[in-house]
Amino acid sequence: GAVVSQHPSWVICKSGTSVKIECRSLDFQATTMFWYRQFPKQSLMLMATSNEGSKATYEQGVEKDKFLINHASLTLSTLTVTSAHPEDSSFYICSASPDRASDTQYFGPGTRLTVL
């Protein structure tokens, strides 16, 4: 089956620093990648949708200057949390779709970010 990896699986950083999370599709080309945020006992909240080679589309309320998304290739998307603060602590999940016209998404295992 299609596999999506995320790195790192967990990260602890100091307030004010930036953190980069990678999302890779290992055995398929991902035309579209999605980034979600999950709070404890809450649903996955879509943060942004990125299509390879174009700018990400952010959901309402998500700061594009704080959560930088790059989808430079068909197998890699990155999420950079800039100037992280404790309220950014969360579980970040990416998913990838091989086709823009498909509702199929393959999910990564998630990255736990803790900002001290």
Partner 1 sequence: GDSVTQMEGPVTLSEEAFLTINCTYTATGYPSLFWYVQYPGEGLQLLLKATKADDKGSNKGFEATYRKETTSFHLEKGSVQVSDSAVYFCALSDSGAGSYQLTFGKGTKLSVIP
Locus of tokens 């999420």:
79
Measured in degrees and rounded to the nearest 5, phi and psi for residue 109 equal -80, -10
Say whether residue 62 binds partner 1 (CB under 8 A). no
Binding residue (CB under 8 A) for partner 1 from 14, 61, 65, 101: 101
The string of DSSP codes covering 45-87 is: EEEEEEETTSPPEEPTT--TTTEEEEEEETTEEEEEE-S--GG
Say whether residue 34 binds partner 1 (CB under 8 A). yes
Binding residue (CB under 8 A) for partner 1 from 69, 97, 113, 115: 97
- Residues found near partner 1 in the complex (CB under 8 A): 4, 6, 32, 34, 41-44, 46, 49, 93, 95, 97, 100-110
